[in-house]
A = this chain, B = another copy of it.
């Protein structure tokens, strides 16, 4: 749920190599990620993002075709980061599958509290701002959520194999159910600035899954 820190960028005259351009591009993407996760698309101007990484406004279109093209890259960066996180938890063979899910939710609680409940989930935040987003961006957000569903579905299939949940569980539907509700829990947690919605949602979700066995 939490996002990485903006990578540090060298100040002063840009050196004449492509690594610098890549670094700068990445630093803009990560600064965007932080601000957009906190404030949302409508309340975040490109100039605010550029100020954060000390890059002149005129340079933006050197790196990105348009604000929408930039937002697409921010979504991709977040999704790649989040997929790595989910794989770390959901494929952690040292724990039983439902414990892996619980461990992910524990990490999210710590992440939300660390940023004083200001950040939450970029995908959930942007999904709320549908009037500010074009169809391509909406599809990209939906596709990210479907990536996460598939990763959880695999984890739940392991749970069904190991007997933690009934073998006839519709893992795809249950995984979709989790992410639908989880985004609600992150939203509520931001609202009340407390981890209890994340805890309540996780406890109920896991108890319901396990109750059938």
Nearest-neighbor residue (CB-CB) of A43 within chain B: B42
A69 interfacial contact with B, CB 8 Å: no
List which A118-172 residues lie within 8 A (CB) of chain B.
Answer: 118, 124-125, 127-132, 138, 141-142, 145
A185 within 8 A of B: yes
Q: Known interface pairs A130-B191, A190-B128. Does A201 touch B173 (Cβ–Cβ under 8 Å)?
A: no
Query: Which residues does chain B contribute within 8 Å of A16, judged by CB atoms?
Result: none
Contact A180 B208 (CB under 8 A): no
User: A3 within 8 Å of B by Cβ?
Assistant: no
Partner of A187, one of B184, B201, B212: B184
A83: Cβ under 8 A from any B Cβ: no
Chain A interface size, as a band, is 35 or more
Interface residues of A (CB under 8 A from B): 38-40, 42-43, 117-118, 124-125, 127-132, 138, 141-142, 145, 173-174, 176-177, 179-185, 187-188, 190-193, 197, 200-201, 203-205, 208-209, 211-212
The 8 Å CB contact of A138, one of B181, B187, B192, B197, is: B192
Contact A38 B131 (CB under 8 A): yes
The answer to whether B128 touches A125 (Cβ under 8 A) is yes
B128 touches A187 (CB 8 A): yes
Given A180-B201, A212-B211, the answer on whether A40 and B185 have CB atoms closer than 8 Å is: no
Known: A124-B187, A183-B184. 17 other contacts (CB 8 A): A40-B40, A40-B131, A124-B184, A127-B187, A130-B190, A173-B200, A177-B205, A180-B188, A180-B197, A180-B200, A181-B185, A183-B188, A184-B184, A184-B187, A208-B208, A211-B211, A211-B212
Smallest CB separation, A105 vs chain B (Å): 13
Known: A138-B191, A180-B201. A43 touches B208 (CB 8 A): no
Least distance between A46 CB and chain B CB atoms (Å): 16
Please give me the residue from chain B that is nearest to A190 by CB atom: B130
